[in-house]
Each structure stands twice: as structure tokens, then as C-alpha cells.
Amino acid sequence: MSIIFVGLPGSGKTTIGRQLARRLGVPFVDSDHVIEHRLGCSIREFFAREGEGSFRDVEQQVLDDLTQTHEGVIATGGGSVLREANRRHLHERGHVIYLRSTPEDVFRRVRHDTARPLLQVDDPLSRLRALFEARDPLYRNAAHFVIETGRPSVATLVNMIVMQLELAGHLPAQAPTPAPAQPAASP
């Protein structure tokens, strides 16, 4: 069963997901990269040419495939929870972690990122606030765990996630590493 990240664009799904996969020694996949590979073009291009409905159809098929076949960590696109079928598949087929970031935290992290179509508007912070308002209940609906991202480092967030998964019995508890033996003191 996979560990699946949901959350606003810029909440850290790919960054934290990649680090968690490395820590657990499992494969990582970003559903947006799989979608772009399948489309043969960027999501932005496809979205502009074919519209949101067509994009969401492709996204739903990719998420359905990934949640049935991928054993590891999956980072999803920010809008992956907009369709009820996606929320159901994510929740039933994986351990879903909602990286809950405030719009202000996301804006602070990605305000200089020109590759994010989301921020290419007159008032990106207002756009993030509107997305948060609409999607927060949907992310919560799909999630098994909610992690408040705030300002902790990626390493701290990965540690928090591992601990939550261990406590829930989804990962074997890590045995504490024994301290190295100290040489006996010479008389």
C-alpha cells in the first residue's frame, strides 16, 4: 500500500514525498510527471488547449492506475481531490497524508516560482486563499493524517510523518540504534 500526499500546490508534496521515499527505501512518483509523460506535453499546455475537464479525466485515470500499482510514495497534484472518485481511490488504496499549509505559508515558499501557473495571476495570495477555502475540506475527506507544515524543516516534517505512520502501525517501528560501545577505561 502506498503513502500518498495531498495538499495545496506548493505545500511540499513532492519535496517531502521524495525525502520520505528515500528514508523508507521505496520508489517515489509524482502524479503530475506521470500525467505529462502520458500527455506528451506540459500540464499547462494541455490545460490551455483542452480545458480543465479533459485534464481532470486524464488525472483521474493516472491516479486510478497509480493507486492500484505503485508501491511506495505518491505526490499528487493540488487539484487531485476535486473529483469524488479520486478522493475515494486515494483513501481506500493508500495512507493519505494531507500536508496542510496556510495560503500565506505557500505564498512565502513559492512566490518567486514562475513555473507555477497558479501564481501567474494579479493577486496570487487571494487565489491561494480561495483554493484553500474550497479544497481544505476535500483534502481532509481524503486524508488519514493531517500534518501542519508551518515552518519546520523538510527533515523535521519527514520525521513527524514517519512517527505518525509508525504509531498507526503502517510502518514497522524503527529499533533505536544502540550507542557504540565505549572502550574500557585504563587503570
Q: What distance in Å separates the CA atoms of residue 22 and residue 4, rounded to the nearest whole number?
A: 15
22 labeled part of a ligand binding site: no
Q: What distance in Å separates the CA atoms of residue 158 and residue 39, rounded to the nearest whole number?
A: 31
Q: What distance in Å separates the CA atoms of residue 79 and residue 56, rounded to the nearest whole number?
A: 9
Question: Cell digits for 114?
Answer: 514562475
169 labeled part of a ligand binding site: no
**What strands, in cross-sheet order, belong to the sheet with 94-100?**
28-30, 73-75, 2-6, 94-100, 145-148
177 labeled part of a ligand binding site: no
11 labeled part of a ligand binding site: yes
53 labeled part of a ligand binding site: no
44 labeled part of a ligand binding site: no
**Residues in contact with 77: Cβ distance below 8 Å, sequence separation at least 6, in sequence order:** 9, 31, 32, 35, 43, 59
140 labeled part of a ligand binding site: no
135 labeled part of a ligand binding site: yes
For residue 117, give Cα distances in angstroms to 107, 112, 124, 150: 13, 12, 10, 23
57 labeled part of a ligand binding site: no
- Which residues participate in the annotated binding site for Mg(2+)? 14
- Which residues participate in the annotated binding site for ATP? 10-15, 116
- Which residues participate in the annotated binding site? 10-15, 32, 56, 78, 116, 135
- Which residues participate in the annotated binding site for substrate? 32, 56, 78, 135
